[in-house]
Chain A
Amino acid sequence: MARRPPASYANPYVAGVALGLVLLSAFLVMGRGLGASGAFATSAAGVVSTIAPEQAAASGLFAKYLDDDGPWVDWLLFELTGVVIGGFLSAWFAGRWVWRVQGGRSLPAARRLSWAAGGGALMGLGAVLARGCTSGQALTGGALLSVGSWVFMIAAFAGGYLAMPVLRRLWR
């Protein structure tokens, strides 16, 4: 599916400045920063409220997303949709779009997918507790010097480094 030899990645510092300018433009235009996990929460609230409205209203987490214009009219949800589009366009034009399972070289695909699901669930839980993820807390809150965001950032790096010696075989 890749159309041309994949382009090499951008210099991380240059890419970082570009990312920082995108974040800054969000501050300047909207008065708020970026995010990702919030879109998951609002979607979950929307799905639950469609299937079992009483459950959604009873949940302290989902209830917040059910007021105003409802869970589907959510700034972050629209922003994350943009992320999907932007990611796709960049990958496509860089020749990096390829349908595959991308894990550790010696990890069978099925294992990779199981770990991705489980690890994803952990991140979902962590993001709910922390009121955000790397985009909303580390990046946005970090740039705005929020105390809790820096705590999250340091804790997340710590968590990753603690897990590494235990699970490094996943990436062999």
Chain B
Amino acid sequence: MTFPLFEYGAFGDTTALAVAVVIGVAFGWALERAGLGFAPKLAGQFLLTDFTVFKVLFTAVVTAMLGVFWLGRLGVLDLARVYVPETFIVPQLVGGVIFGIGFFVVGLCPGTACVAAASGRLDGLVAVAGMFAGVLLAGLLFDGLAGVYARTPWGSVTLAQWLDVPYGVVVAAVVVIALVGFAGLERWERRV
């Protein structure tokens, strides 16, 4: 049996949509359990009072990254068939900063805003509406964005390919950086 199952014809498009819901339920559950549906907690990351966002995000990235690397190496996962989001340096840099500003102001991102709304938080619901409005406007005024939007398309490229180093080297570097970050935060939090 080779993974990804969908790429190897294990099931069709309709089942894929059912799979989407199931995965989404697990995703939403995990986010809420971590407290990421609670806006003040996420804002705390930038207020330097609560580093849950950093800990959860980078633990998740390291977990999935190690899983992908080792299952790929063992031949269980056909890594070439996993879609790597494409790189557009300038729009992702500019969009990232704009997103980050909004992220601090709201204390929620698109996914966690849905979790907050689902937890009864009216501000989460309003945030979702605001995000929808933002995307809607961006779409209607898209020609105005075209100057930034289409710049520097690099295609699907990994840090390993870009730096021309073995994939495993980047994996090791990310793990070390994450663990050093976690250790540093733990010490910082204890000094209070």
Contacts and interface: CB of A to CB of B under 8 A. Distances in A.
A12 B55 contact: yes
Contacts of B128: 120
A39 to B, nearest CB: 8
A48 B34 contact: no
Interface string B15-54: 0111111111111111111110111110111110001100
Interface in B41-72: 41, 43-47, 51-52, 55-65, 67-68, 71
Contacts, number: 537
A126 B34 contact: no
Contact of B29 (A90, A131, A145): A90
A86 interface: yes
A128 B95 contact: yes
Range for the number of chain A residues in contact with chain B: 35 or more
B101 A160 contact: yes
Contacts of A26: 23
B184 interface: no
Given A86-B25, A87-B37, A102-B124, A28 B95 contact: no
B124 to A, nearest CB: 7
Contact of A139 (B32, B61, B87, B105): B61
B92 A145 contact: no
- The dominant DSSP class at the A interface is helix
B75 to A, nearest CB: 13
A71 to B, nearest CB: 11
A94 B96 CA distance: 33
Interface string B104-137: 1111111111111111111110111111111111
A133 B19 contact: no
Indicate the member of A1, A20, A86, A127 with the most B CB atoms within 10 Å. Answer: A86
B34 A151 contact: no
Nearest to A167: B105
A60 B146 contact: yes
A122 B99 contact: yes
B162 interface: yes
B148 to A, nearest CB: 6
Contacts of B180: none
A158 B130 contact: no
Interface of A: 1, 9-10, 12-13, 15-34, 36-37, 39-41, 43-45, 47-48, 55, 59-62, 69, 73, 75-76, 78-91, 94, 96-104, 109, 112-113, 115-164, 167-168, 170-171
14 contacts: A9-B34, A30-B20, A36-B110, A61-B139, A79-B27, A82-B20, A121-B133, A125-B137, A132-B85, A142-B57, A143-B64, A143-B68, A154-B96, A160-B104
